[in-house]
């Protein structure tokens, strides 16, 4: 799944261009030229109240402690070292186990001109989630908030995958509460995420139909299994099911989307990303130069910094460099890691970094134009 806040910001920029405001408001496009990453994937905690079979962060979850998590003061110092951060993704662990999640987001909102935040949650803590989101929307005016809720199956299948009894009902209860909040705040976006794994590959179509027809009011999305999973068998998937789904998805795309609209670009990019995921999985090779560590960076709860979620190459720890991200990324070792990523590549299937790679690789633009033409002009 590509994080929705990325698409929202791309659409926002396109609208600026269309309205010719770009000439007068170039600050919206500074992220294109910033030497520091424009997007952060931040894990405020690796503590979790679930036990997911497909989790790629499992080793951190079993070894983490609350006492080792970055404090608000430390997070403020880290945030101050970045420039404009338009898109912040909050992941974990379960982010809502942090009592100060609203304050964490407020720091980036005030220090970095944050416009889009995405919070990924298993949605088991209904009351806490609804209260925190209401407070964020009330206090941080103009901030677009995306809540991404994990739904991996219907009923007991979801509970089994997540290792939490009654987890499905808890998640759907949370969605109901968030839909009430959404009626008040139009800058709240609700997305569900289903992991395409060994446990879900035979049922994910039914899950999608259930989300669209029974839960409603939430946009379903599919993520391809990645990383070193808790249960290794989860990586044994039939790629044909994933490929067939997106062939069907393409055929039922919204016919009301106009070819020159920002949403047409979103659909085009999704189409290309899906093809790259399939190709990378089948070939085990990189399809496009990777920008991990340059345009995107992952910061874990204890200050460890990595280029992406699936990489084992650590830039270092922010606590060791007085919380200065530049010292890590621009150090001799940091530059070596970034060069290695560009030169060696990997067979990454993480949709988020693939989108970033497309945006910052001019050589991919002809393919984007071609796919747009095929989808919206030729209707193929």
Tokens coding 314: 């650590």
Strands across the sheet containing 144-150: 219-224, 188-196, 144-150, 116-121, 87-90, 39-42, 296-299, 304-306, 316-317
CB 178 within 8 Å of CB 190: yes
Across 34-43, 137-146, 256-265, 271-280, the highest mean pLDDT is recorded for 137-146
CB 200 within 8 Å of CB 207: yes
Whole-model pTM: value is 0.89
Please state the domain count of the chain.
1
The percentage of the chain sitting over the pLDDT mark of 90, rounded to a whole number, equals 60
d(CA 45, CA 119): 12
CB 229 within 8 Å of CB 58: yes
Whether pLDDT at 291 is above 80: yes
What is the chain's percent helix, strand, coil content, to nearest 5? 50, 10, 40
User: What is the average pLDDT score of the chain?
Assistant: 88
d(CA 341, CA 26): 30
**Which residue range is the domain that position 84 belongs to?**
4-376
| For residues 117-132, average pLDDT | 98
Instruction: List the CATH number of the domain containing 309.
Output: 3.20.20.70
The percentage of the chain sitting over the pLDDT mark of 70, rounded to a whole number, equals 88
Whether pLDDT at 223 is above 80: yes
Whether pLDDT at 83 is above 90: no
17-72 pLDDT, tens digit each: 444 444 445 555 555 666 788 889 999 999 999 999 999 998 888 888 899 999 99
139-186 pLDDT, tens digit each: 999 999 999 999 999 999 999 999 999 999 999 999 999 999 999 999
> Nearest-CA neighbor of 192 among 177, 212, 173?
212
- Predicted pLDDT at 43: 98
- Predicted pLDDT at 343: 80
| For residues 217-233, average pLDDT | 91
- Predicted pLDDT at 22: 45
Whether pLDDT at 251 is above 70: no
């Amino acid at each position: 799944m590509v994080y929705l806040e990325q698409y929202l910001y791309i659409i926002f920029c396109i609208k600026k261009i269309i309205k010719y405001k770009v000439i007068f408001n170039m600050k919206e496009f500074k992220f294109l030229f910033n030497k520091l990453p424009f997007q952060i994937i931040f894990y405020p905690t690796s503590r979790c109240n679930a036990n997911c079979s497909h989790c790629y962060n499992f080793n951190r979850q079993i070894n983490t402690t609350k006492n080792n998590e970055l404090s608000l003061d430390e997070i403020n110092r880290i945030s101050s070292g970045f420039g404009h951060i338009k898109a912040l993704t909050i992941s974990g662990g379960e982010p809502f186990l942090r009592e100060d999640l609203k304050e964490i987001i407020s720091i980036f909102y005030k220090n970095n001109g944050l416009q889009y935040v995405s919070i990924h949650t298993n949605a088991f803590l209904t009351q806490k989630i609804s209260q925190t989101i209401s407070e964020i929307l009330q206090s941080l005016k103009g901030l677009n908030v995306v809540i991404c809720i994990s739904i991996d199956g219907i009923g007991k299948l979801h509970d089994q995958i997540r290792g939490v009894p009654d987890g499905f009902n808890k998640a759907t209860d949370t969605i109901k509460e968030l839909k009430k909040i959404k009626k008040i705040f139009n800058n709240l976006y609700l997305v569900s995420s289903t992991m395409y794994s060994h446990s879900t590959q035979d049922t994910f179509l039914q899950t999608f139909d259930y989300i669209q027809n029974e839960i409603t009011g939430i946009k379903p999305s599919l993520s391809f299994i990645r990383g070193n999973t808790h249960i290794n068998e989860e990586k044994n998937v039939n790629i044909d099911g994933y490929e067939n789904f997106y062939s069907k998805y393409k055929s039922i795309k919204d016919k009301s989307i106009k070819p020159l609209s920002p949403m047409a670009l979103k659909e085009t990019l999704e189409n290309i990303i899906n093809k790259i995921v399939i190709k990378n999985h089948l070939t085990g090779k990189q399809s496009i130069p990777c920008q991990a560590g340059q345009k995107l960076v992952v910061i874990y709860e204890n200050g460890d910094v990595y280029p992406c979620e699936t990489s084992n190459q650590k830039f270092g720890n922010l606590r060791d460099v007085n919380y200065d991200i530049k010292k890590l990324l621009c150090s001799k070792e940091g530059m070596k890691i970034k060069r290695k990523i560009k030169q060696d590549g990997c067979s990454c299937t993480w949709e988020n970094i693939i989108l970033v790679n497309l945006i910052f690789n001019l050589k991919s633009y002809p393919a984007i134009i071609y796919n747009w033409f095929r989808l919206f002009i030729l209707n193929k």
